[in-house]
Chains A and B, each alone.
Chain A
């Protein structure tokens, strides 16, 4: 899939524990295709995004056409076909959050990080995005970071979170990209 014949795909493999999870998944799935979504989640959990090499690899392991893996990887919003920063921050801009200042929070984060929604900081520490309703409207506005929900947000509170995340990253230098958290 999307192969350049002169530039073969890099080899892809899972770490041992993820490989075990995949084998379990394959043994339980009623059809090979039924394993695609959970397997893509495994890829993303381990690698942070879904590369062409990963899709090709999964198609081989599941014995299904690569086009089916590509179709799911691109149809479903949570699957990312590109690398993201160590912290993936997503601001809910659904109606309840929007009414309570989500746009201001998103603009503020974009200003602070010097990037637009959809972009990653040059040090690869932060990726900023927006998301649709996260089913937490009673505590709007909300954001997520690496899947963790943060409720009743404000400009001040996201500033504090940014400071905490930056400090945590400074304590672990070298982890400037997704490490599967």
Chain B
């Protein structure tokens, strides 16, 4: 298989300009600058590149939402606020291959007629930020970034902006609020950021991995990229696997990798060869899958059909010793802690769910509490400004309904029947 996003990972000096260039780096930029912006957008549309931040929105379609006129400046914002538990691919791209991201930013900014791009890094990304800063220095020195790039007359400034520890800022309008200096509370939509975004100007927000795909799309063509993956899902993807597996890590494969292959082949199988209990396929906002449900292909449409989501494709694997009530409690604690607080169903519901789950984990409560949990989830989902409420409600309902007997066992036993972690 062609390794695209991970081609230079692990090479000595793989993060440097010299190594990136020796693998054809910045060739796509030169090619793009000789194309019209519209032709670049067409290639990305043909690639069927879907957003790698978790939502899977078609990238070229998103770009097409920008107004045609240039009455206001427009911005490209790179979402490097990787925080979905179980997800660790963007950190790796920033640390191991920052020039691929930079080239993707440059081509995208040129195609979208942007003169200032922001990179929103999560505040904890000291090392990834350092790596990107060094790459920006190298690229500027070499004439790939700054004014009159490669003699084309096109200029771009890239601004790094650090968050300060708020999961919600990965939501694109909360992220914009944060760059503007406000608490990260998502905006009601419409208007969408492509029309009214950063500082009131048209703005496109793309994930790190999405933009890292752009150089290859321009170099090899959108059709070629599309054919690597699935019909409505072009290209390759960096899959992650962590938790109770023998070989946790990141693995690049075409869209449509089997979840079983990720867990048992790439991930090396379960630690101590124990039986599997559940897999969270793509970050904690996904409904967990049981062992008889993991023969699914990991692309956006197939995972949705399986009753869960591809999300960020960062799988968390749990063996039979894992308590599902405790995992649900841990996830609820996360969401309660990270709720921005502006919508009542999410603010109050997350705490209510957490308190009930803590009681059940301690063996207190009644079977009716399970119905109550599902009821609260149903009242959160769809009733909040942003998708955070859904990201909390869907998995919690999944744990309660798929592992109901395990919840009931806590109540019968008056405590947790599983070993400590």
- Which parts of B312-333 form the interface with A (CB within 8 Å)? 314, 316, 318, 322, 327, 330-331
Bitwise, B80-111 to A at CB < 8 A (1) or not (0) is: 00111111101100000000000000000000
Q: In the complex the two chains form, is B123's CB within 8 Å of A96's CB?
A: no
Supposing A103-B421, A132-B338 touch, asked if A95 and B181 sit within 8 A by C-beta, the answer is no
CB distance from B280 to the nearest CB of A (A): 7
Give the chain B neighbours of A99 by CB distance below 8 A: 243-244, 316, 318, 322, 421
**Contact among B166, B316, B334 with A137 in the assembled complex (CB-CB below 8 Å):** B316
Complex CA–CA separation, A35 to B179 (angstroms):
9
Bitwise, B323-360 to A at CB < 8 A (1) or not (0) is: 00001001100100110100000000000000000000
Give the chain B neighbours of A34 by CB distance below 8 A: 179-181
Supposing A34-B179, A71-B182 touch, asked if A96 and B164 sit within 8 A by C-beta, the answer is no
CB distance from B316 to the nearest CB of A (A): 5
A-B interface contact total, Cβ < 8 Å: 144
Bitwise, A79-106 to B at CB < 8 A (1) or not (0) is: 1000000000000011110111111100
Q: In the complex the two chains form, is B199's CB within 8 Å of A31's CB?
A: yes
B161 within 8 A of A: yes
| B181 closest partner in A (C-beta) | A33
Q: In the complex the two chains form, is A147's CB within 8 Å of B126's CB?
A: yes
Complex CA–CA separation, A138 to B330 (angstroms):
19
Q: In the complex the two chains form, is B421's CB within 8 Å of A33's CB?
A: no
- Which parts of A113-145 form the interface with B (CB within 8 Å)? 131-140, 144
Q: In the complex the two chains form, is A75's CB within 8 Å of B183's CB?
A: yes
Q: In the complex the two chains form, is A138's CB within 8 Å of B164's CB?
A: no
Q: In the complex the two chains form, is A75's CB within 8 Å of B184's CB?
A: yes
Interface size for chain B: under 10, 10 to 19, 20 to 34, or 35 or more residues? 35 or more
Complex CA–CA separation, A32 to B182 (angstroms):
11
Q: In the complex the two chains form, is A137's CB within 8 Å of B314's CB?
A: yes
Complex CA–CA separation, A41 to B178 (angstroms):
14
Q: Which of A35, A72, A138 has the most CB of B within 10 A?
A: A138
Q: Which of B84, B86, B159, B322 has the most CB of A within 10 A?
A: B86
CB distance from A131 to the nearest CB of B (A): 8
Give the chain B neighbours of A136 by CB distance below 8 A: 88, 91
Q: In the complex the two chains form, is A75's CB within 8 Å of B179's CB?
A: no
Q: In the complex the two chains form, is A147's CB within 8 Å of B124's CB?
A: yes
Q: In the complex the two chains form, is A95's CB within 8 Å of B327's CB?
A: yes
Complex CA–CA separation, A152 to B73 (angstroms):
45
| B317 closest partner in A (C-beta) | A99
- Which parts of B104-162 form the interface with A (CB within 8 Å)? 122-127, 159, 161-162
Give the chain A neighbours of B180 by CB distance below 8 A: 31, 33-34
Q: In the complex the two chains form, is B316's CB within 8 Å of A72's CB?
A: no
Report which B residues bind A (CB closer than 8 A): 82-88, 90-91, 122-127, 159, 161-167, 178-184, 199, 240-244, 248-250, 280, 284, 314, 316, 318, 322, 327, 330-331, 334, 337-338, 340, 420-421
Known: A71-B183, A94-B334, A95-B316; 15 extra A-B contacts, CB below 8 A, are A30-B199, A33-B182, A37-B181, A38-B162, A41-B164, A68-B182, A75-B183, A79-B165, A99-B316, A131-B165, A133-B85, A135-B87, A135-B122, A137-B314, A148-B127
Report which A residues bind B (CB closer than 8 A): 28, 30-38, 40-41, 68, 71-72, 75-79, 93-96, 98-104, 131-140, 144, 147-149
A-B pairs with lowest CB-CB distance, top 3: A77-B165, A33-B181, A76-B164
